[in-house]
């Protein structure tokens, strides 16, 4: 029997778990070796902090970029913005575009889009396999506390033939300042008026129910030890931990997994980059029939004036061009050409 495109994508994505484990080990080894070499070399060094979402990709960049030693701490987007604002690092990384107040506090910083991926919705439901169907409004009602059981009639209605247990739903969220939380709540604000009016979007929203954990690795670990749990995390972490991931209904009415195909069609919708480089691609229009509705860009944040301007310009320009090739096994797809152009244009502003 001939496989559908989605089944082929799913087969390829399941193999990512093993690939990610190998990449993680290799990146760690190479990072250690890079650090040891740096102790005796005269290479420049650049320090950064922030997003845990983009950390797997930055680990690959750290291992393969040869012009400088890159030292990156995955402390969360909020902490990364705080550290670059305080100038305790050379760059920050965030999965949420900065607010006006954050720009003001950063005293002359710019945000540069440098990666594109997706937020997945993994779950730990007894007896339920891969690809449980969910909709945006259902997810919003789970995190609002309105849907409390996995066999709720609204979930059953779109999952015919699935034996859903009478199991408590445990929403798991990021307790730290998180760009992934921004992406998730930006999406929920698009699909639920109640969410938009009561909670809204942000890096550290006031989730009314559930349990919190720090970082992508924290929520992933919490999910593994929580029967009935559901969370939101970058797709690389979900595949690395071999979690079951939900199919999310898009505006075209199709239930879609985060795959290379479903992310690619969303990235192709970006035809222009707004001033300030704040790009949102959540909940794309119904014309994007096979698009996954919870995609995001992620940004590097740097001061326009900095003593490390030459090193940062070289690294960022490499990251948005040659560095993109290291993202595919992690489901970070190459950023569109129009975004590369905007990134280079902004990077060119950096000076000492």
Domains of the chain by start residue, with CATH: 5-117+296-347 (3.40.190.10), 120-267 (3.40.190.10)
Residue 70: strand pairing partners: 46
Q: How far apart are CA 39 and CA 13, in angstroms?
A: 38
Q: What is the pLDDT of residue 185?
A: 98
Residue 249: strand pairing partners: 255
Q: How far apart are CA 208 and CA 135, in angstroms?
A: 19
Q: How far apart are CA 93 and CA 162, in angstroms?
A: 40
DSSP per-residue codes, 107-176: TSEEEEEEEEEEEE-EEE-TT--S--EE-HHHHHHHHHTS--BTT-HHHHHTSTT----S-B-EEEEE-S
Q: What is the pLDDT of residue 6?
A: 53
Q: What is the pLDDT of residue 253?
A: 98
Q: What is the pLDDT of residue 198?
A: 97
Centre a 10 Å sphere on the Cβ of residue 161 and count the other Cβ atoms it contains: 4
Give the pLDDT means over successive 10-residue stretches in the chain (352 positions): 49 53 46 42 86 94 97 95 98 96 97 98 96 98 98 98 97 94 97 98 96 92 96 90 95 97 96 95 97 97 98 98 95 97 98 97
DSSP 104: H
Centre a 10 Å sphere on the Cβ of residue 254 and count the other Cβ atoms it contains: 18
Classify 243 as helix, strand or coil.
coil
Q: What is the pLDDT of residue 9?
A: 56
């Amino acid at each position: 029997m001939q496989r559908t495109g989605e089944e082929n994508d799913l087969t390829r994505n399941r193999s990512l778990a093993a690939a990610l484990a190998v990449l993680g080990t290799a990146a760690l080894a190479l990072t250690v070796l890079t650090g040891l070499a740096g102790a005796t070399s005269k290479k420049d060094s650049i320090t950064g902090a922030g997003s845990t979402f983009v950390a797997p990709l930055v680990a690959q960049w750290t291992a393969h970029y040869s012009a400088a030693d890159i030292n990156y701490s995955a402390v969360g987007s909020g902490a990364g913005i705080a550290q670059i604002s305080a100038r305790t690092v050379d760059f920050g990384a965030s999965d949420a575009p900065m607010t006006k107040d954050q720009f003001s506090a950063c005293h002359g910083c710019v945000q540069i889009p440098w990666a594109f991926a997706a937020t997945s919705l993994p779950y730990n439901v007894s007896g339920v396999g891969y690809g449980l169907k969910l909709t945006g409004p259902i997810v919003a009602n789970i995190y609002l506390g309105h849907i409390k059981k996995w066999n709720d009639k609204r979930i059953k209605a779109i999952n015919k033939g699935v034996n859903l247990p009478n199991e408590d739903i445990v929403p798991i969220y990021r307790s730290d300042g998180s760009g992934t939380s921004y992406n998730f709540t930006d999406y929920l604000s698009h699909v639920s008026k109640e969410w938009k009016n009561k909670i809204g979007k942000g890096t550290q929203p006031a989730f009314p129910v559930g349990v919190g954990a720090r970082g992508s690795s924290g929520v992933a670990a919490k999910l593994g030890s929580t029967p009935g749990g559901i969370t939101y995390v970058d797709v690389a972490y979900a595949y690395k931990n071999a979690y079951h991931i939900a199919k999310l209904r898009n505006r075209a009415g199709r239930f879609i997994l985060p795959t290379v195909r479903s992310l690619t069609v969303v990235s192709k919708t970006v035809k222009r980059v707004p001033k300030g480089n704040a790009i949102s691609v959540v909940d794309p229009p119904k014309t994007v029939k096979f698009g996954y509705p919870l995609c995001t860009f992620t940004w590097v944040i740097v001061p326009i004036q900095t003593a490390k301007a030459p090193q940062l310009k070289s690294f960022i320009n490499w990251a948005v061009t040659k560095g993109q090739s290291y993202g595919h096994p992690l489901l970070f797809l190459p950023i569109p050409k129009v975004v590369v152009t905007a990134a280079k244009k902004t990077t060119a502003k950096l000076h000492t």
